[in-house]
Amino acid sequence: MKKLLNLFLIATMLLVAVPVVAAAPPPQDGGQDYVVVADDWLSNLADKFLGDVLAYPAITYYTNQKNSADSSYARISNSDEIEVGWKIYIPSSEEAQAYFAGQTTTVGATGDTVKIGALAPLSAPGSVTGGAAMTAAFEIAVEEINAAGGVLGKPVELVLVDTEGLPERGTAAMVRLINQEQVVGVVGEYHSAVGLTAKEVAHANGVPTVFAETWSADITRVQYPEVFRIAPLSPVVSSVDAEFVASLPGIEKVVIMSENTGYGIPAAADTEAFLAEKGIAAVSFFADLGTQDFSGIVERVKAENPDLIWVLSTGETSYNFQQQAAEGGIGPQDVPMVCNQVAADSDAYWANVPDGNLCFYRRIGLPKQKFTEATTAFEARYVEKTGKESAESYAMEAYDSLKIMAQAINEAGSTDPGAIISALENISYDGALGTITFPYGTQNPVPDDMDAMWWHQFPDPAITIRQYTEVGQADADAATVFPATYKTADPVLP
């Protein structure tokens, strides 16, 4: 029987300052094994053995480290759920401190500064490639902001925390940033599952937050004053997805490979619904973020005999499925496949999916022919810094989220949260993604005939579909095949 994390207890403890991590060490056997019994939650075990209800991510981390070497230990894919009889590892206090001590990174000056927090997945099961791209973009933004005089006449100090792509880490990271680091605002994050929990802490503490790459409509649909977003909305993206699939010949049935997260479940449902409107049948499969073995699912997908496979699973998990699908005879060279957008990191994509030619992938952000001066300037700095051929959309989003927060603080003339929120609602920022505004908010409510998800939402991110047509091809050289406005070549089907 599964036991759910005591969410009420967690909610009441949001104001407790806890340390947060980025690259924890392996377990040193200083702790103890423990077998889960009825009425256990990771939160109360953390409280009992470590003296901190919010230290449960350390138990998850070290148990999974043990599992990688010894399958008698449980593999915890969701810290909200543990099962009676599971063998887990309770770290020692020293191990827990080591886990929580290593993950915060400071970018920019320290001392008499204005502190801004940032979230990004820097370790598995989160999208490590996405987090690395966002980190480089944050560093460029900090350099530019401080070279231009900083914020309110002081240098910006960016405190970056690894979320590991896990919802519970989003909670713990925000608690630390707000209550221990005392940041005046928070930016970034890649995974919607993290954004969905992080937004609650931002709202509870009244701290303005600009999310960079979190698509779930529920992040803004709750209409929290503190929460803004420059990433696209998942239902809007799903609508474009369906239009693209309908434009291809002979597509009658689609299989969707998604993830068991607050992003993946509704995104699959939205995509199914939009495809149904086009007369296209769809069936969805789900796997946990971080899943490595897709052999069983590949066989089930093959049995469906799809005309197209759409991968909504994010980060390195998507690479695992895509390459194993190719090895199973249903990869991009066998069946039309729309890979997850992390395929835009061409170096990482080809290293992980060597049999992934003809992959379609979604790219958010202006295509080359529509680059503004700001887009061109950022990409030039990013390419120089990283050695990549081009800048991924999530790098542009990270860069813009920090630059827009800095501009809002300067325009507010204060670090007062209310003043910053007001400045964000009225802002017009010219960045790598184009001109960003937030049309709907407290001063201009979302109309009754519109979905509440448009609250504090950048309405105009460009959404395109691209395709690799040569093995090893760089994202910069890939063709844009949809929509017609940005199209540079026709799609190539297997």
The rounded distance, in Å, linking the Cα atoms of 195 and 211 is 7
- pLDDT score for 103: 61
| Positive or negative: CA dihedral 27, 31, 35, 36 | negative
The pair of structure tokens assigned to 425 is 């609602």
Q: With 60 as the cut, is the pLDDT of residue 280 above it?
A: yes
Residue-wise DSSP of 414-439? S--HHHHHHHHHT--EEETTEEE---
Residue 358 amino acid letter: L
Residue 294 amino acid letter: F
Q: With 70 as the cut, is the pLDDT of residue 2 above it?
A: no
Residue 260 amino acid letter: N
The rounded distance, in Å, linking the Cα atoms of 357 and 349 is 10
The rounded distance, in Å, linking the Cα atoms of 225 and 455 is 9
The pair phi, psi for residue 17, each rounded to 5°, is: -80, 125
| Positive or negative: CA dihedral 354, 358, 364, 367 | positive
The rounded distance, in Å, linking the Cα atoms of 76 and 63 is 7
pLDDT in tens, 425-462: 999 999 999 999 999 999 999 999 999 999 999 998 88
The pair phi, psi for residue 431, each rounded to 5°, is: -135, -160
| 316 Cβ contact list (under 8 Å, min separation 6) | 124, 125, 127, 128, 129, 290, 342, 352
Average pLDDT, stretch 217-236?
96
- pLDDT score for 6: 39
Q: How far apart are the first and last CA of the chain?
A: 45
Q: Specify the range with the lowest mean pLDDT, choosing from 100-114, 198-212, 354-368, 448-462.
A: 100-114
The greatest distance separating any two alpha carbons of the chain, rounded to the nearest whole angstrom, comes to: 62
- pLDDT score for 28: 52
Distances, alpha carbon 4 to alpha carbons 78, 292, 432, 445, 453, in Å: 10, 24, 42, 37, 29
Tokens 């949001």 label which residue?
Answer: 14
Of the candidates 14, 173, 28, 170, the residue with the CA atom closest to the CA atom of residue 98: 28
> 3-class DSSP state for residue 224?
coil
- pLDDT level of residue 365 (50, 70, 90 thresholds): confident
The rounded distance, in Å, linking the Cα atoms of 188 and 126 is 14
Alpha helices, DSSP H only, in 248-392? 264-277, 295-304, 315-327, 346-352, 373-386
Structural domains in the chain, sorted by start? 2-101 (3.10.350.10), 104-231+397-457 (3.40.50.2300), 235-367+464-482 (3.40.50.2300)
pLDDT in tens, 46-64: 889 988 777 887 898 888 8
pLDDT in tens, 395-407: 999 999 999 999 9
| 163 Cβ contact list (under 8 Å, min separation 6) | 119, 120, 121, 122, 126, 169, 170, 173, 189, 191, 194, 198
pLDDT in tens, 3-46: 433 333 333 333 333 333 334 445 555 799 999 999 898 878 98
